[in-house]
């Protein structure tokens, strides 16, 4: 008789639940609920565009409704009953730390802090802590370079310690009243399992390793001495943090009686340790050695794995390398591009002042052009460069325009630019000994834009597949749930049985590969000239390249001038 | 009693006549007649977009009508009679050589050659001779560097010898049947004066010096040995060429009885030597030492003068320096930008898909932005770079785009880019000891676009004036006519009396000057990196700059790839 697993996927604007057949990955029930608060679920500040918070109350209200709805659909589709569900997995955005009290309750639920945005969840894309991030990077570079090596060389304003320290700096009262800061990926399983003390929350290695510099090698979280060198109160906080963090094959606990009753699920159902959406998305897309999973949306997240029995060197400029963050027994490698779909959208809406229909038209027109025939070349840095330069202060560039250049040519050049950006990441990883033989893409662009996919196949010179599931993150969470429920002895057979790719495969066209190889040579010249490192907060293992020093600072100089003008 | 002078101005698409009061420059009658043939007066070839020819029959038909109409208007406005006209001046496009027979008749008027486009006038913007131009540059660099120094370091495909040699290479029959090649600026005065032999045509130094490497210092036209090193038949042709060339204070001859009768003008009216439209445009705009005249349209032509009693060194990268080409007694210095209005037009029509109304809207929006506030920077090379890089194989570039960049910001960045291009020309000329204290602009953009003018004042850090006359080329030709008719003892008092500027003056705003100085520093980095010389046909006196060699070839590499693809 069929058994099922439940995946719960917390995105930026909504939460999704997915009920999946453990034998074959068939998706039998799904539901999405949008967060009711703020702007599309995000709490913004009118005068500080770097701030982005979220309401934990939204998480809880939506959780109840979304699981109910998904189970209802599954029952309707298959006649299954709640007692056939054998496990639950959870993925969330991150780093999204939530300040909680000693009873593991979010601080914002205390009426005293209801109006204080610092008491809410600090959403991944909150950048208020940019100054703290730079200081953490500088301090670690001096005294703990190994911390930086694990996270690509630069500690980000989006990450755990930056956010905590920023709260300490701007809201000492709240920071002092807060007992602990729990990542959303750990908070949701803890809620499902009724954990009443922050100390008892089971910590996932995905958030801890990628965002909080956790590593078993150096005894867990960054040492007290290092944290004290930032602020002694951060070192104090460390005492209340767990000293272990786990991969998704570890149980977070068992479902409470109350939740079980609410949803008609068995009491004590095993709940897996949580992980980030991208990482479980890679699981749902069938990640394995040699397969790069690209989750392509407004930006991309690139995930791959390498057996942890082989030594994998630190790869400079790659966002993070954490043992167990994707699959137990494998180093999880995370990279990404700061803007992909966002760049096309910007060009269509802000430059061409068009809508989705124009994007379809431009895609069709761009598809009739030959590679290299426009004489255009662009850098895909309109939102900075996440991998391999790790520099948010880079900007876009386009070269080659004549008086005859068309908007379709420019649009295609932007598609190609993001593919060249993707190739730069692939090349860097392969140079360091991690093989990439095939690419599996997920996301709307992958499913809808055949031109985009063909350009990627031609530029990357590898076959490009599309994930069979359109909701790979939730599917990955469900696979974690299947593992928690002992449907499989290990993660690899679970992935093999429960994931797949679509029949359409984009294969490199040799003539295009040759042209793009030439164009990429030119892209790399621009990349190295404008992206070269110029300042002291530069990624480790990268030194300024001779002869490019003048152009290397140009984008930053323009941004500095822009900021100066904005303040006048 | 008032006397009048007649200026005749042959543009690319039409001819204009202007009747002017010799005492004060008052314009009392004007008319424009469009050339009837081809596309807007230009004969094109369906399969060769580099070809641009013109019909000499158009020149003659339109001449009769346009002068008649201008005189009619002048009579109607002032009651003046034809016998009050004391002289005629002529300006034309160029280099626009016309193949003629021994009777000074254009070859295309011979029915045998009626269908042969090579027998027509080779319009200035004909680029069919690009290969010959490169070979002339290479040969002169080896054996006659002084020829190149006079014309900015690179001999152009638009110029006299390139065109003649190309005809020789592609149409030996026509070349052999042709007795001489007369520049349009010399052909029209010869027609007015009834010159029946090419040998008797009075040659203007403007075309000869700027486009045919004429210089009194080396005995006139390039020496026979040099021409023979290109092709012996070019050396043969030289024998039938005049050994002198003159400034506009020299008479070309006297008006024939027939023309005088046609127009009701005095027989024997003095006709001045012809010159190019830009050069007489500068005269009409009030050119003098320290004043740069910018004729701003789709591209720009920059004209200034320096007393020929002072030694003026060759200025590398400046299109041409010819004694007497603008004013007798002065070195005429010509520079220019390959695209200005064309770039704005391209952005509005091809990228934004808008019309004139959008351009007005974008100008208004761009005017509300602060200098430096967009973080954008562009290179104005969409049509190559005429001065100071003399490289048609350069292309446009824009850097600094984010996901929030607007089209108004991009439009303003393009305006600023052309101003930075203008400053690069000004700086180069000033570095070589020629002072520039004020700028006088002519053309529609100068009259209509206050934002453009203010940006130029701020970037050039000099007051910018607008020429009082809206038809400065024809006014300059009329001033030459006044001089021919002895209304003034010399050109300087004629210019002083007959030209002026409008009351509106754009003065630099110190805060903007400071910001644009910073931005220009960044522009210069891009300019030097992407514009650096990389090949053997490079301008003289310029050597590759260390550290930029990689980027220096990038635009050319993209163009080469584009051409390769176009041929596939």
CATH code for the domain in which residue B100 is found: 3.30.420.40
d(CA A300, CA A277): 12
Shortest Cα–Cα distance, A232 to chain B (Å): 38
What is the C-alpha end-to-end distance of chain B, expressed in Å? 70
Is the pLDDT score of B549 beyond 80?
A: no
A346 and B CB contact within 8 Å = yes
d(CA B552, CA B555): 7
pLDDT in tens, B489-542: 999 999 999 999 999 999 999 999 999 999 999 999 999 999 986 443 444 344
- Read off φ and ψ for residue A401, nearest 5 degrees: -70, 140
Tell me what pLDDT residue A563 has. 82
Q: Which residue of B has its CA nearest to A519?
A: B558
Q: Is residue B99 part of a domain?
A: yes
Model ipTM?
0.89
**Which of these ranges, A60-69, A476-485, B47-56, has the smallest mean pLDDT?**
B47-56
* Arithmetic mean of pLDDT, B417-431: 97
Mode of pairing for the β-strands spanning B300-307 and B330-337: antiparallel
Does an H or E element contain A149, and which?
Answer: helix A145-150
Q: Is residue A230 part of a domain?
A: yes
Per DSSP, the residues of A254-310 read E--HHHHHHHT--TT-EEEPPEEHHHHHHHHTT--TEEEEEEESSSEEEEEEEETTS
Query: What are B306's strand-pairing partners?
Result: B331
For residue B491, count other CB atoms closer than 10 A to its CB.
23
Q: What is the mean pLDDT of chain B?
A: 93
**A1 band by pLDDT with thresholds 50, 70 and 90:** confident
Cβ–Cβ gap A397/B397 under 8 Å: yes
Instruction: Report the residue of A400, A406, A559 to disrupt the B interface, i.e. the one with the largest count of B CBs within 10 Å.
Output: A400
Sort out which chain A residues have CB atoms less than 8 A from B518's CB and list them: 557, 561
**A540 band by pLDDT with thresholds 50, 70 and 90:** very low
pLDDT in tens, B240-253: 898 899 999 999 99
pLDDT in tens, B462-493: 999 999 999 999 999 999 999 999 999 999 99
Query: What are B269's strand-pairing partners?
Result: none
Instruction: Report the residue of A298, A341, A350, A362 to disrupt the B interface, i.e. the one with the largest count of B CBs within 10 Å.
Output: A350
Tell me what pLDDT residue A2 has. 94
Cβ–Cβ gap A374/B526 under 8 Å: no
Q: Find residues 507-566 of chain A whose CB sits inside 8 Å of chain B.
A: 515, 518-519, 522, 525-526, 529-530, 546-551, 554-555, 557-559, 561-562, 564-566
Q: What is the largest CA-CA distance in chain B?
A: 70
Q: Which residue of B has its CA nearest to A341?
A: B403
Q: Which residue of A has its CA nearest to B409?
A: A351
Domains contained in chain A, number: 1
Is the pLDDT score of B49 beyond 90?
A: no
* Arithmetic mean of pLDDT, B200-205: 97
Q: Is residue B91 part of a domain?
A: yes
A134 and B CB contact within 8 Å = no
Shortest Cα–Cα distance, A412 to chain B (Å): 13
Q: Is residue B77 part of a domain?
A: yes
pLDDT in tens, A309-348: 987 888 888 888 999 999 999 999 999 999 999 999 999 9
Cβ–Cβ gap A370/B565 under 8 Å: yes
Shortest Cα–Cα distance, A357 to chain B (Å): 15
d(CA A410, CA B395): 14
3-state secondary structure of A92: strand
- DSSP alpha helix (H) spans, B388-443: 407-431
Q: What is the mean pLDDT of chain A?
A: 93
d(CA B131, CA B312): 31
- What does pTM read for this prediction? 0.90
Q: Which residue of B has its CA nearest to A405?
A: B350
Tell me what pLDDT residue A533 has. 61
Q: How far is CA B321 from CA B31, B207, B287, B333, in A?
A: 32, 12, 15, 5
Cβ–Cβ gap A353/B407 under 8 Å: yes
Q: Is residue B333 part of a domain?
A: no
d(CA B314, CA B324): 15
Q: Is residue B437 part of a domain?
A: no
- Read off φ and ψ for residue A181, nearest 5 degrees: -120, 115
Does an H or E element contain A322, and which?
Answer: strand A320-323
Residues contacting A511, CB < 8 A, separation 6+:
none
A413 and B CB contact within 8 Å = no
A405 and B CB contact within 8 Å = yes
- Read off φ and ψ for residue A330, nearest 5 degrees: -130, 145
Does an H or E element contain A442, and which?
Answer: strand A436-442
Q: Is residue A315 part of a domain?
A: no
The one-character DSSP state at B470 is S
Cβ–Cβ gap B403/A395 under 8 Å: no
A158 alpha-carbon distance from chain centroid = 11
Q: Is residue B230 part of a domain?
A: yes
Find out whether B156 and B135 touch, Cβ atoms under 8 Å: no
Is the pLDDT score of B545 beyond 60?
A: no
Domain that holds residue B72: 4-275
Burial of A543 by CB count in 10 Å (0-12 exposed, 13-18 middle, 19+ buried)? Answer: exposed
d(CA A548, CA A558): 17
Residues contacting A316, CB < 8 A, separation 6+:
A149, A152, A153, A388, A428, A539, A540, A541, A542
**A13 band by pLDDT with thresholds 50, 70 and 90:** very high
């Amino acid at each position: 008789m069929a058994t099922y697993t439940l995946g719960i996927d917390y995105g930026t604007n909504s939460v999704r639940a997915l009920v999946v057949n453990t034998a074959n990955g068939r998706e039998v029930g799904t539901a999405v609920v949008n967060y009711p608060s703020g702007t599309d679920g995000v709490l913004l500040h009118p005068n500080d565009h770097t701030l982005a918070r979220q309401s934990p109350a939204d998480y809880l209200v939506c959780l109840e409704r979304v699981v109910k709805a998904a189970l209802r659909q599954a029952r309707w589709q298959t006649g299954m009953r709640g007692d056939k569900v054998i496990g639950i997995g959870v993925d969330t955005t991150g780093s999204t730390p939530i300040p909680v009290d000693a009873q593991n309750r979010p601080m914002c639920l205390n009426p005293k802090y209801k109006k204080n945005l610092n008491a809410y969840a600090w959403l991944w894309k909150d950048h208020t802590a940019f100054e703290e991030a730079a200081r953490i990077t500088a301090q670690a570079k001096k005294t703990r370079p190994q911390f930086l090596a694990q996270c690509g060389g630069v500690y980000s304003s989006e990450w755990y310690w930056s956010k905590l320290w920023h709260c300490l700096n701007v809201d000492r009262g709240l920071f002092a009243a807060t007992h602990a800061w729990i990542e959303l990926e750990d908070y949701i399983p803890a809620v499902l399992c009724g954990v009443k003390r922050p100390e008892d929350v089971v910590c996932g290695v995905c958030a801890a390793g990628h965002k909080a510099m956790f590593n078993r090698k150096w005894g867990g979280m960054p040492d007290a001495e290092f944290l004290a060198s930032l602020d002694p109160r951060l070192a104090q906080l460390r005492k209340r943090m767990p000293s272990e963090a786990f991969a998704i094959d570890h149980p977070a606990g068992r479902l409470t009686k109350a939740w079980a009753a609410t949803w008609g699920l068995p009491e004590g159902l095993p709940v897996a340790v949580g992980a980030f959406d991208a990482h479980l998305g890679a699981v749902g897309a069938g990640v394995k050695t040699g397969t790069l999973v690209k989750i392509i949306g407004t930006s991309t997240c690139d995930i791959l794995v390498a057996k942890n029995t082989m030594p994998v060197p630190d790869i400079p400029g790659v966002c993070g390398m954490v043992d167990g963050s994707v699959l137990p027994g494998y180093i999880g490698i995370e990279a990404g591009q700061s803007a992909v779909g966002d760049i096309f959208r910007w060009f269509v809406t802000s430059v061409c002042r068009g809508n989705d229909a124009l994007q379809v038209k431009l895609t069709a027109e761009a598809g009739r052009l030959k590679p290299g025939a426009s004489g255009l070349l662009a850098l895909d840095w309109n939102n900075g460069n996440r991998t391999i330069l790790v520099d948010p202060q880079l900007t876009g560039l386009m070269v080659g325009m004549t008086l005859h250049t068309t908007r379709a040519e420019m649009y295609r050049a932007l598609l190609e630019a993001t593919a060249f950006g993707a190739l730069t990441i692939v090349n860097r990883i392969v140079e360091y000994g991690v093989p990439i033989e095939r690419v599996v893409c997920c996301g709307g662009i992958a499913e809808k834009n055949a031109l985009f996919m063909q350009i990627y196949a031609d530029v990357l010179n590898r076959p490009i597949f599309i994930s069979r599931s359109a909701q790979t993150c939730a599917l990955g969470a469900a696979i974690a749930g299947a593992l928690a429920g002992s449907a499989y002895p290990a993660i690899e057979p679970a992935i093999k049985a429960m994931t797949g790719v679509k029949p359409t495969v984009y294969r490199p066209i040799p003539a295009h590969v040759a042209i793009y190889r030439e164009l990429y040579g030119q892209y790399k010249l621009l990349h190295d000239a404008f992206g070269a490192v110029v300042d002291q907060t530069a990624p480790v293992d990268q030194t300024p390249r001779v002869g490019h020093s003048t152009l290397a600072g140009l984008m930053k100089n323009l941004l500095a001038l822009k900021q100066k003008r904005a303040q006048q």
